[in-house]
Amino acid sequence: MPKRDDKDGIDRRGFLKCMQWAGTGMVWRIAAGVPFSAPLTADANAAGDFCFVQISDSHIGFNKAANPDVTATLQAAIDKINRLDPQPDFLLHTGDLTHLARAGEFDTLDQALRSLRQGQIFYVPGEHDFTGDDGKLYLERFGKGTRGSGWQSFDHRGVHFIGLNNVVQLEGWGNIGDVQFEWMRRDLAPLSSSTPVVVFAHIPLWTVYPDWGWGTRDSERMLALMKRFGSVTVLNGHIHQVLQKVEGNVTFHTAMSTAFPQPAPGAAPAPGPMKVEADRLRQVLGTAEVNFRRGDHPLAIVDAPLDDAAAFQRRCGGCHSLDDARMGPPLRGVYGRHAAADPKFAYSEALKKADIRWDEATLNRWLQDPEAVVPGNAMPFRLDSESDRRAIIDYLKAH
């Protein structure tokens, strides 16, 4: 891979400070055109003009040791998305739908995505989708209505979306190219500078790690086109891990894969699928909610693993189980019930008198600060980690 000095690059130490294992589906909410974030299982009534979901790097057809069943982990992410209420307006898939761009792989992906409650999906290709046939099959199956080699734009509730293909002229890096830039210049020309813009492409549109080619060679030309807009959000995949950067008016975000993790830069001789213990895999693949908020705020990604049971056991297992009373009551079926509903358990008088129902919003507040929700209750535990709170709520919803 080529090396280059770039002011946008970061060293391994800097990367590790701002990268964390996290999820792959991103829920984006938009309020007044500025992005803000919360976990995928966040309160359905969270303020926002609309939301959408980003998924990435499903790599259908991959079957090596890092994840022998990528279809199952994609389905787990789909199941999480289907539990969102209200449902997102649409989904973005930021590339590497398949591993080898074979017809059967595209068929499997299509069948899995049909189980989504929200069926509107916009795609951009990854380099794996162009393997062998220069993207012919991808464009026939998932590129309908796009231009050139798969780029597109659309408007939704006052926000302008641009999907780019930066995987055709790789040469070790992502590349957008003159033809696509000319199209993008014409596409942006009529827009007011107050229009929020979201750009989505597979390879990061900033230099994440030059040694591994994790960046787009001509990304500075894209930034020049975006300079006049007040709010620009750039969504990418490819590196299979969450990384974020804010530069002026532009917020960059890379998403996790639904298939397998990759090593942090410098932690291995080269990038590629990374095997973790089988019982840990769904803890390093997962989902996260990212929203748009009024005003100037950096993105705050809150991630929730696919394996919600791990968070429940780690945080709640000392006092609770699903079916047996311990220090706390059994919790199977608690979601949606009124508080203190199990006649066999000795609840505090305060909780028995509380007229509350365990919905998402109430559970989130309760886990964060039980005393604030029900003064005088017997729950001594407070959970500051929002990602763990959301994973636990998702687990209770499913059981």
Residue 26, pLDDT score: 62
Cis before 86? omega within 30: yes
Residue 147: beta bridge partners?
151
Residue 95, pLDDT score: 96
Q: What does pLDDT average to in each consecutive run of 10 residues of the chain (399 residues)?
A: 40 38 55 54 51 91 96 92 82 96 98 94 97 95 96 93 90 92 98 94 95 95 95 93 87 91 91 88 62 45 61 83 90 94 93 94 93 92 82 86
- CA 19 vs. chain centroid, Å, equals 14
Global pTM value: 0.75
Q: Measure the CA–CA gap between 341 and 333, rounded to whole angstroms.
A: 10
* DSSP classification of residue 91: E
Residue type, 382: R
Instruction: Name residues whose C-beta falls within 8 Å of residue 102's C-beta, 6 or more positions apart in sequence.
Output: 61, 137
Q: How many CB atoms lie within 10 A of CB 14?
A: 11
Do 12-306 and 309-398 agree at the fold level? no
Residue 284, pLDDT score: 66
> What CATH number was assigned to the domain covering residues 309-398?
1.10.760.10
Residue spans of the domains in the chain: they are 12-306, 309-398
Q: Measure the CA–CA gap between 285 and 280, rounded to whole angstroms.
A: 9
CATH architecture of 12-306: 4-Layer Sandwich (3.60)
Alpha helices in 215-300 (DSSP H): 219-226, 281-284
Alpha helices in 86-203 (DSSP H): 103-113, 136-142, 178-188
Q: How many CB atoms lie within 10 A of CB 262?
A: 22
